Structure 1
Amino acid sequence: MKILRVISSIDPKDGGPMEAARKIDTTLQHLGHQVELVCLDDPNADFIYDYPVQVHALGPSKGNYKFNKKLTPWLNENVDSFEAVIIDGLWQYHSFGAWRALAKKTIPYFVFTHGMLDPWFKKTYPLKHMKKWLYWPWAEYRLLRDAKAVLFTCEDEKILARESFWLYKANEVVTAFGTADAPKNRGQLTNNFLDLYPELKSKRLVLYLSRIHEKKGCDLLIEAFAKVATQDPSLQLIMAGPDQTGWSSTLKILAAQRGISDRVSWLGMLSGDIKWGAFYAAEVFCLPSHQENFGIVVAEALACGKPVLISNKVNIWREIESSNAGFVDHDTIDGTIRNLQRWLALDANTYKELTEHARKCFTQHFLIQHAAERLVEIIQEQRF
């Protein structure tokens, strides 16, 4: 099958949807399908050349909306050579521009919303939501209405998507989702990471690895860690991830006010082997997010056999809880403290069992090959 993916950006700094697209496209090619991608990035950007399939980069584009007048004409000219189109994400020009072309075509298209209809955004950013209402009826509503299927990565995401806009119509389909397996050279990756950050050797590492963003609950984690840090002087919190809003400066002040500046390591964005080394070096992974459609990093931690401490706003929390692959609580300071305390109370044997459950949870629920195969099934079922 020949598939075209339409996405605003494949910049790794933009988070999980881009990483998921990369992993799924790689796997689709291994399964014998031909995949190409069109995005609104600058064609001279370094990350364009690292992508695993042919990329048609039509940028540079204008503003945060990434308006790009080349997209619709490009699709009108080229899309007929594909059998299906996948559109990733909402609220930027790529989705509306794609609909403008595809509404006139017979080729089926499928939309991943990637949690962008979660009502958390409506409650947290009411002014932005009002602006989206002006845009919704003639753009994203039509995109979803006309799609062969709107794809959700779990039942929670599908149900929550119905709450943001009363004008909503979609053929909803829940699909498997996941990521690639972790590399197997655990010892080497761990040593390389600790050689790069020797101050972390002999520490019990709590890892946060995601964007530094308000919705991720970074402030909750710092507050909670401050409450438990006195229990063991070897405890160390790693805060790793890109900061596109400048929030880390405020968080560092918070850590200083709580007296844990020296107990928090700010490593910036980690990728490749260094990222995997961080996962392997850590004892647990923590993400107390206020809103998380899936959480690729949660799946990556599980792939490394690491128990995860997450909030019940991470939409895969049910799989984690039922698999006994970590601990789940509310997206509050107290909930995050309880998760950390449950981990700290484990004896060595129980912790080892938890790591085995984490690995099993990944292979059963979040292996990328299952996600790619299910995506192909959905396309084949829905496109005629």
Structure 2
Amino acid sequence: MHHHGSSLILRNALTGLRAGGQLVRWPAWLVLGRDPRPGADALIEHQDRVEGSTPAAGRGEGAGRRVRWLAVQAALGPGVLALTVAMWLTAAVVVGTPLWWRFASAPVVFVPITDTASSLVGALCGVPLVLLAVACGYGLPRWHAAVGRAVLDGPRFRRLTHRVEVLTASRADALEVQAAELRRIERDLHDGAQARLVSAGMLLGLLDIKLDDLPADRRALLAEARSEVGWALQELRDLVHGVYPPILADRGLTGGIDSLVERTTRVIGSVTATVEVAGRLPAALESTVYFVVAEALANVAKHSAARRAGVVVRAGRERVCVEVHDDGRGGADELRGSGLAGLRRRAAAFDGTLSITSPLGGPTVLRVELPCAS
């Protein structure tokens, strides 16, 4: 039996014995006016720790559901242990057929035993039983845990849990579709309207050169037209950058954050960046991390009066952690419209969390955690 599986089966059996004791005492506690539910809740919490599961809100509500859980644990805990022991004993007996035949003269185990060769055949028949016992050592505790959760959760809770999983997956798909659409809009603006404005500016420049004999007032109008085209081009570039930063497609998240750090360094003097991301993140998540860092650094540059700041981005298997800190004056308040509300909304779109520590006098530490798969 696998060590972890065997210890879990033993602990489940002890939980079953305790559950049986509570189940027997439950009517007496009610007669004596004691509330038996806290004892059951404590045992449920203990079993969650044993199984390594995370309890969800709304589990085990109602006395009837607690009683059913105690009954199931009282039956399954010792029962699974007894079944496991019986399987291993049977496997040991069959595998030890040569010994039994030699020393106890057992005539039959699963095949007729008449000599050493047939006893070895009987021992080989025990190998599948050993494999089955090992598999049960892995599987039975998980099945036990699944039954316990099903009793606690109830059918309505399981339906809600499944619905949440479906909605979470559909939201992730919607975010990816949105990111793809934003990339398409960015490409269309870059290759279409932006290119046309560049061409219009060049044509106006050529026109200015060729028509050097125009009156001063008309040359002023031409210069104003070139200026307006230039401003429109800059606004369009800013719009493209806000829709989906082209640098993410060109240089990835590390390059994008490096560009943000470079721009912020011109304002506050010293900004460091540590980006630990293996490979590319999903497009929607990558752009969200980029904009979180961009907005956080913009807040530092505008409001903190900091001399130094730092950005740390670490992506694990399950979560991406973003931290932006500065040595400014502190006192950042989400209610004062310093951009923190927008950051929180970005994080909430991914089921992420935002926390900020900003005492008066600093330092300020902003931390955002985003799940890798929403």
TM-score range, shorter chain: under 0.3
- Alignment TM-score, normalising by the size of structure 2: 0.20
| Higher share in strand | 1
- Larger RCO: Structure 1 or Structure 2 (Cα < 8 Å, ≥ 6 residues apart)? 1
Q: Which has the larger radius of gyration?
A: 2
| Higher share in helix | 2
